[in-house]
Amino acid sequence: MKHFTFIALCLILFTSCQVSEKTANQSSSLSNQTDGSKQLSQVIIKEETGNPNIGITSYTLITDNAEAHRADAEAVMRVKKNFPLAVLTKDRALFERILARNFVFRGGDLLLREDYINSRVQSPGELGFVVQYENMVLQFFGEIAVITYRNV
């Protein structure tokens, strides 16, 4: 059983290494063979934040209509870049623009939108606050956008 597991893992690793990474703004097709739905494309988009404390160098956009979702992707990424900026600058107006009206923070404490904004704006300084994102993927499912990433 150990040998089978090892061989399976090696096969998966070997197969995943064979997939070539596309360069900036080149697209590749990702077809969904199981349910016959629309064909997806994957586009790697280079990104500049203009702030050395917020590290986003690129993200992968996965969509069935790259042209139609490009503006929406830019809007989502603008919010993703502005959130750490709001934390860093303690900008109440920026928090209010970013957070949804029914926002609820679920962490150690449960905070409603206004309480969360107050806690961020009144918190002690965020000296040395730097965020770095890797493996960022933005995918659209109809009207919903899902962004995944790794914080480092």
Q: pLDDT for 122-141, tens place per residue? A: 988 766 678 999 999 999 99
- The answer to whether 45 touches 73, Cβ cutoff 8 Å, is yes
pLDDT at 79: 93
Judge whether 3 lies within some domain: no
Domain contains 120: no
Yes or no: say if 40 and 72 are a contact pair by the CB < 8 Å rule. no
pLDDT tens digit sequence for 56-77: 999 999 999 888 899 999 999 9
Cα angle at 57 between 28 and 48, to 5 degrees? 110
Q: Has residue 15 got a pLDDT over 60?
A: no
Structural domain includes residue 37: yes
54 located within any domain: yes
- The answer to whether residue 63 sits within a structural domain is yes
The phi-psi region of residue 131 (left if phi > 0; otherwise alpha if psi is between -120 and 50; otherwise beta) is beta
Contact 61, 69 (CB under 8 A): yes
The answer to whether the CB of 130 falls within 8 A of the CB of 55 is yes
pTM of the model: 0.67
Quick check: is 115 in a domain? Answer: no
Q: Confirm whether 41 is domain-assigned.
A: yes
Looking up tokens 């077809």, which residue turns up? 31
Is residue 47 one of the residues assigned to a domain?
yes
Q: Range of 44's domain?
A: 22-90+125-151
Whose tokens are 């597991």? That residue is 5
pLDDT of residue 66: 86
Instruction: For residue 133, give both structure tokens.
Output: 């994102």
Report how many domains make up the chain: 1
Query: E-strand spans in the chain?
Result: 27-30, 40-46, 54-55, 58-63, 104-106, 110-112, 131-141, 144-151
